[in-house]
Structure 1
């Protein structure tokens, strides 16, 4: 077993510095972002083994993506495609609202296909992690997700799914049946209340999702913490009080914390506690993946705020 395997599109990220309308921004930062690579980097920073696979363009952004992910300690399988690397542009219109625009139609990442995900990589993994973003990119990317899941299930490899619904990629009507199908094939499912509400009754989200088949259901609810149903046992873990600098990437850090501890053989409550702490730490740092913590960061999170 080689730890976590995940795949999907990672893009260049142009982020306006400061808060206000995009047209008034005076400076910008450039980085990378992608739900799957964020999780892989988060797992690696917490000491787990992780592999990320995806297509990138023959451009500087594609090269940066491969280098940044590898530098985080992730085994990186970047396939160079003839198309361009996708971009996203983000700005904070106000202190409470962030907007992200995608430039990814026809991108290298959207051209992912089943042939890009070798069965040997899937069967060698301890956990296959997928998201609801990749199936929205293209028919070939969707086929890659479903094929990899079936390969994992046949080999006894645990399948983890973060629903990660993106309204700018597909409608609720189109997404709901696909996400429901994916959830029914997964062992571990992560969802926000609104994402789960696409296809289950929200009166008892963990129980309703568990009816579809997963044995581990974790509902991420931001400042309210999380609730989970794991192997039939319910858990509730409150959020940690922190100063929020940038909420983007918190969900991916949460998932990384849970999966890193799962790989390490931790008990369910310990996994959830690490997930909460990882998500809390991530929001204190700007950027999609820059805030993913190490074990030392988590140990310091509830301690003295001055390190000498």
Structure 2
């Protein structure tokens, strides 16, 4: 049984939001020190989930955004809703009393290395259903953002993605799709089913984001040539393709023209969430009317900022923080 959690107890109009995203919210437990959970006893509690991370990134950059996802009737579910709201995200979160909120555990076995373990089978988030979409009107939004994680969670979650894409198509709303491949979610089905699913979603999207390895999985090409990967993804149908290259930056292909941007070098603490920050930066500048070069510039800077913090989204920057000049006094007085 589910009931809709409204922001602050008051129904917030979706028309106030530029972006709609949907997916699974997760509780996050992370070790505070370097070492294995087998030996460490102190954990920090937070929240995560790719789509929620993107929503927070957009909100911090001044882009109105709504996140839709099921949560359990538990402390982690309530924390997800509270933290998203606190970051300025409009939340539509049916509370599933029949399932718990999923959990992600992060460890740092050694300096510069992060190990992530998921406990999400049968979670509330995985029970997302097409009927949950009735709480929003897709026509009220400027953009729909989805990832390849959600359709891998369950048959009903996949049906929800298909249904929201149908609604977006009917309403003429552009779709942003981040492949965000999670091999563990496809265990037992193989890369073939994942690739087929991603190709289908890319064909129905206006803009596609993928890492080089993800682009290779989708296209069947080798991951070494970013331009070839971008053009192969574009051949599936999207008008715009962005290939994320990590420490090598990124390239974007639009109208047959390739634009590249080098990465911003930073001392990396944790890369988890950096890809979501990158996507948020790109989409925020897209909706602001910036050029492809401007979109890439903001994206690589937001992605770099995320690498400076051990949390999934806590290090995502605001525009004010990004506009601070290099070499400025880091202490505000």
- Paired position in structure 2 for 1:261: 285
RMSD: 1.4
Name the count of aligned residue pairs.
Answer: 308
In 1, Cα distance between the equivalents of 2:185 and 2:130?
A: 20
- Paired position in structure 1 for 2:271: 247
1:280 to 304, 323, 326: 304
1:119 Cα deviation after fit: 8.1
Q: Does 1:195 align with 2:214?
A: yes
1:172 Cα deviation after fit: 1.6
In 2, Cα distance between the equivalents of 1:119 and 1:227?
A: 36
Q: Secondary structure at the match of 2:38?
A: helix
Q: Is the 8 A contact 1:112 1:141 kept in 2?
A: yes
Q: Is the 8 A contact 1:46 1:257 kept in 2?
A: yes
Q: Secondary structure at the match of 1:87?
A: strand
Over 6 Å off, 4+ runs: none
Q: Secondary structure at the match of 1:199?
A: helix
Q: Does 1:121 align with 2:134?
A: no
Q: Deviations 1:11-35 (Å, cap 9, x if unpaired)?
A: 1001011112221223110000000
Q: Which runs of 5+ in 1 are unaligned?
A: none
Q: Secondary structure at the match of 2:30?
A: strand
Q: Is the 8 A contact 1:7 1:130 kept in 2?
A: yes
Q: Is the 8 A contact 1:17 1:26 kept in 2?
A: no
Name the CA shift for 1:301/1:237 in 2 (closer, same or farther; >3 Å): farther
In 2, Cα distance between the equivalents of 1:191 and 1:95?
A: 27
1:68 Cα deviation after fit: 0.2
TM-score, normalised with respect to structure 2? 0.90
1:177 to 191, 196, 208: 196
Q: Is the 8 A contact 1:3 1:49 kept in 2?
A: yes
Matched ranges for 1:149-228 at <5 A:
149-170=165-186, 171-200=190-219, 201-202=221-222, 203=225, 204-228=228-252
In 1, Cα distance between the equivalents of 2:41 and 2:95?
A: 33
1:232 Cα deviation after fit: 2.1
Q: Is the 8 A contact 1:119 1:151 kept in 2?
A: no
In 1, Cα distance between the equivalents of 2:59 and 2:326?
A: 22
Name the CA shift for 1:301/1:164 in 2 (closer, same or farther; >3 Å): farther
Q: Is the 8 A contact 2:34 2:108 kept in 1?
A: yes
TM-score, normalised with respect to structure 1? 0.97
Q: Is the 8 A contact 2:114 2:270 kept in 1?
A: no
Q: Which runs of 5+ in 2 are unaligned?
A: 1-14
Q: Does 1:300 align with 2:316?
A: no
Q: Is the 8 A contact 2:112 2:270 kept in 1?
A: no
1:254 Cα deviation after fit: 0.2
In 2, Cα distance between the equivalents of 1:108 and 1:301?
A: 43
- Paired position in structure 2 for 1:21: 36
Matched ranges for 1:37-48 at <5 A:
37-48=52-63
- Paired position in structure 1 for 2:106: 90
